[in-house]
Structure 1
Amino acid sequence: MSESSTKTGVKGNSWGLITVTSVIVVAVAYSHYMEVQVPAEEIRRRREAYGYGAVADTAPTTPPKLGCHPGVNDPQLRSLPHFYKDVAPDPSAQNIYQIEVSMAMKITHKMLCSIESMCSVNSDAHVWFLVTRATLDASSAQRLLSLQKICPRLCVAHVNVRTVMRNTSFHEILNSDDFWNTPYLFTQLSDVMRFAIVYNSGGLYTDTDILALRPFKNISKNYFVAEDNKGSRPSNALFHFERHHPTPKRFLEFLADTFSPVISRLMYGTLGPHGLARFFWHSKCSFRILTLLNAPAEYPAPGDPIGKRASSRDDSARNNETAYRTPRNAVKFDDEPTDRVGDDVNGSPDCIYNIFGKNAHHFIYYLNCLSLFYRNKTLLGPDDNILPSSFTLELFNSVTKTTPVEEGSLVDIIAQKTCPLTHSKCPSLMCN
């Protein structure tokens, strides 16, 4: 009798503890929710700044010039051409997009290093650096002009959020105050804009804290990357799709259909990596994980050095060799892939994409990324063959934003090779 009473008491105490814990969690969440409320005047200011104010901008009336036209409005780059109004990517070219959404006038040296690396390593590509601010400060403009002298395919343009998003399913969400009432505005704007731009024009999107190591070649047209080799931790920091491929459009539709103002206000990454993971789970499309074991030809050849390339044709001469017993012929990353295995679902090639495993773009976990900035020779391979199976290195700016690059560190060695101009001006990548 007493034993039964004891069990009942323990069970009751357990339920009581669960109830109390639940109440505390709800109370904390509600308190945080109230704390992150954005004042109405700030919401109005945000909408005006990004093109979703009371007076909407008009759609372009004449077609923009196709291709890269640096300084088309101002040879000093202080007044920038408007993306999709004055200039637009040539869909037939290789295009790489990077976006700065914070309205900052100054461009940091870490960001400049990322831009320079994309230009120098992928020298046949048009690199579009898109900023939401219509003007830059004189020092940033001068640094970008210096980059354009050695990277003639670098295009700098002002991007208006409404101009990019007006014809997408997410436009109505942006047209409401709910989207703008968030502490994660810059991240969430970038999360949706990148997919709209890649859908409209085709090409590769990459974050501005990613350094290119080797050319994007021998790669499928349509792919994501992941922080693991199972696809359970997908990343939206880098992806490539051909123009009007339905996947970016479907993803924006999914985000619009499942958008929750409360969750987007409380949680970081709901429109980014977390949203992408949910999309994969709900999607009826299929994908395959590319790793060194199952797709060696998709990865850089052993011994392929990092750093500047004069042209992809140079890579053809250097890499016309056999690696992993697989012929390696350099091709542009938007050429027709030679391997279409798994690219059809019910007869349609539009419902498949490759996901590159962690070695290609995320060789190190973000919590360990500070080690990249300090001397640590164990991170280098034999004969300084740095990260031999990687195309890029992510610096994880959210963690390393205030961390200078130490001489002799992995980032220092890589920056000397992939962004030599920026590194020569500011070796720590933290100059004013």
Structure 2
Amino acid sequence: MSARRTQKLIVLLIVLAILYFFAQNNYLNEDATDPSHEVNNNQQPGSQNSIPSENLCGKTIELPRFPAENVDQNRQIFFVETNVQPKPRGRTICALESAIRIGKMPVKVFFRSSVLTVNHPALCSLVKEFYPHKLSFYTTAIEELFERSPLQGITKRLQWNHPLFLLQLSDLMRAVMLYKYGGFYLDQDVLTLRDLTGIRNSIVTDNITSVPSETCKPMTEERTNLLNQGTMHFDKENPFLLEYLRILNATYRHGMRWIDPGPVTMHLAAQKFLGRRNALSTPLSTPDLTIVPSFVFRLLTLAMTPPPPPMFDVNENGSYFEDYVRCSYVFHLTGLKTKGALVTGNPRHDVYSYFGPKVCPTAISHLKMF
């Protein structure tokens, strides 16, 4: 074999090796999460696929766009995943399951990714039981989501490589979703404890201070400079949300602290909307904006000072857990330290093990993946 033919053969082998490498690692589709699974390409834009839900387990499904005709307007629960390669954890699946079983509204999960791999056994079980009527998944293009809203064009100002980008993007996405479609937004670490259908146009302070009376009425006034966006409901085209989005569009800039686009700006918008100059206090209720006491949407983080109640500590009979959230509709377990706390399966030890069998029995049954 001549040297020229040998060189051509070597070049051909190199090209074939590169093509094989790209195919195996799905480089031709940057949003793909697991090339070893079959991708369902029969998905129609704007609809959940008609393939039986039991056939989706272990597969990578192509996600549709959210439909323009939204039949569940104002009566739906949204979750948002901003990572481009989503891998739902047991605690996220617990949040989804509790919202489906207890919240009494269809749950809709938005992903930046165009595909989702249904390989977690608990998620597979929920898909079999609830997909697509009570649980559905969608992809969204950021620019498309912000169209026809006060945030249209803001993507040009987003810091795509900033370490806080995903946190701030989530703040923007959740507000636009509620403004355009109406419904509840819940963070992925929120446990739903009660039927949410009776709550409208409501948000909560960023405190843990309020203690309810025996009849679940506030006993003291709460003053706050921050409004927590981890749990909130607003109707479609709510005028307060419109005010918030306008202020956010006018003030968003590079270098903002992670809390600025969310809790800080939300409080400023509420002050302007209500014509107040000082810190807001609860309870406060208007037709378009209700600020509920913090015990209604109960918040917990182990990083708080002073230390919070022992949600991950010995609790002999569970009565402490029950009393702490006896008037709460949701329980928001937030913060990196809280997310990393050990879940043992012992209901006398930690809050997930206590409430899990009641609100997310499927998710908690896969404790090793929790």
Question: Structure 1 residues 90 and 207, CA, compared in 2 at 3 Å: closer, same or farther?
Answer: same
1:372 match: 311
Q: Indicate the SS of the match to 1:238.
A: strand
Residue by residue over 1:406-426, the C-alpha shift from the partner in whole angstroms, topping out at 9 and shown as x without a partner, is 322222111111000111111
**1:66-85 aligned within 5 A:** 69=48, 75-76=55-56, 78-84=60-66
Residue by residue over 1:291-316, the C-alpha shift from the partner in whole angstroms, topping out at 9 and shown as x without a partner, is 9xxxxxxxxxxxxxxxxxxxxxxxxx
Q: Indicate the SS of the match to 2:310.
A: helix
* Structure 1 residue 225 corresponds to structure 2 residue 204: yes
Structure 2 gap ranges (5+): 1-29, 32-43, 208-221
- The offset of 1:179, in angstroms, is 3.3
* Structure 1 residue 149 corresponds to structure 2 residue 128: yes
**1:65-104 aligned within 5 A:** 65=47, 69=48, 75-76=55-56, 78-84=60-66, 89-92=70-73, 94-104=75-85
Residues of 1 paired with 2:253 and 2:62: CA distance? 35
> Residue 425 of structure 1 is aligned with which of 362, 366, 369?
366
- The offset of 1:88, in angstroms, is 5.9
* Structure 1 residue 281 corresponds to structure 2 residue 271: yes
1:164 match: 145
1:199 match: 179
* Structure 1 residue 361 corresponds to structure 2 residue 274: no
* Structure 1 residue 387 corresponds to structure 2 residue 325: yes
Residues of 1 paired with 2:127 and 2:308: CA distance? 30
1:22 match: none
* Structure 1 residue 245 corresponds to structure 2 residue 238: yes
> Which structure has more helix as a fraction of its residues?
1
Residues of 1 paired with 2:178 and 2:51: CA distance? 23
**1:168-317 aligned within 5 A:** 168-176=149-157, 178-219=158-199, 221-228=200-207, 229-262=222-255, 264=256, 267-285=257-275, 289-290=282-283
* Structure 1 residue 109 corresponds to structure 2 residue 90: yes
Work out whether residues 204 and 294 of structure 2, in 8 Å CA contact, stay in contact via their aligned partners in 1. Answer: yes
> Residue 116 of structure 2 is aligned with which of 132, 136, 157?
136
Residues of 1 paired with 2:198 and 2:95: CA distance? 22
Residues of 2 paired with 1:386 and 1:103: CA distance? 36
Structure 1 gap ranges (5+): 1-47, 50-61, 292-341, 344-348
Question: What residue identity is the alignment partner of 2:339?
Answer: K
TM-score where L is the length of structure 2: 0.72
Residues of 1 paired with 2:80 and 2:113: CA distance? 11
Residue by residue over 1:203-222, the C-alpha shift from the partner in whole angstroms, topping out at 9 and shown as x without a partner, is 01111110001111443x21
- The offset of 1:186, in angstroms, is 0.7
Residues of 2 paired with 1:381 and 1:211: CA distance? 17
Residues of 1 paired with 2:325 and 2:319: CA distance? 7
Residue by residue over 1:72-126, the C-alpha shift from the partner in whole angstroms, topping out at 9 and shown as x without a partner, is 69952622332335x7642446200001111233111110100100001023x11
Work out whether residues 300 and 333 of structure 2, in 8 Å CA contact, stay in contact via their aligned partners in 1. Answer: no
Q: Indicate the SS of the match to 1:211.
A: strand
Question: What residue identity is the alignment partner of 1:187?
Answer: L
Aligned residues: 301
Work out whether residues 374 and 405 of structure 1, in 8 Å CA contact, stay in contact via their aligned partners in 2. Answer: no
2:211 match: none
